[in-house]
Amino acid sequence: MKSRDVTLAVNDEPVELNDFVKGYIDRVVEAILASLKRTGAIKQAAVSLTKDQVSIVLNDTGVPLNPFVTRIIHNTIAGMVSSLKGVNAVDTIRITMGA
C-alpha cells in the first residue's frame, strides 16, 4: 500500500521523513480519522497541535472534537512525533497529508 504525501513540521520547522515514518504517520492519522464520526475518504488532511489544542481539517472541512477525543489524539500524535530523531521540545505540530 502506497502512503499519501505526508509532511511534518514541529515548532514551525519542517522535519525530514523517510518512507517508513511517512507511511507510519499516514496510517496512524488515517486510523484516527476513521474512528471519528462523519469522516470519509481522505483526499487531504491537516492536523495541528498546540499545547492543549487539536485542530483537524479533512477535505477542507473542520472536524469537531470533544475534550476527551482531543486529549487522546493530542497524546497519540505528540508521543509519536516526540520519538523521532532530531525532535526535542515540542510546542506545536502540523501534519499534512494529500493524495
Residue 37, pLDDT above cutoff 90: no
Mean pLDDT estimate for the chain: 91
37 or 31: which leads in pLDDT: 31
pTM confidence score = 0.90
Residues 36, 39, 41, 43, CA torsion sign = negative
- Each residue's pLDDT tens digit, 38-57: 777 888 999 999 988 999 99
Residue 1, pLDDT above cutoff 70: no
Report the distance separating Cα 72 and Cα 2, nearest Å.
27
Residue 77, pLDDT above cutoff 90: yes
Taking phi first (over 0 means left), then psi (-120 to 50 degrees means alpha), and beta for anything else, what does residue 92 get? beta
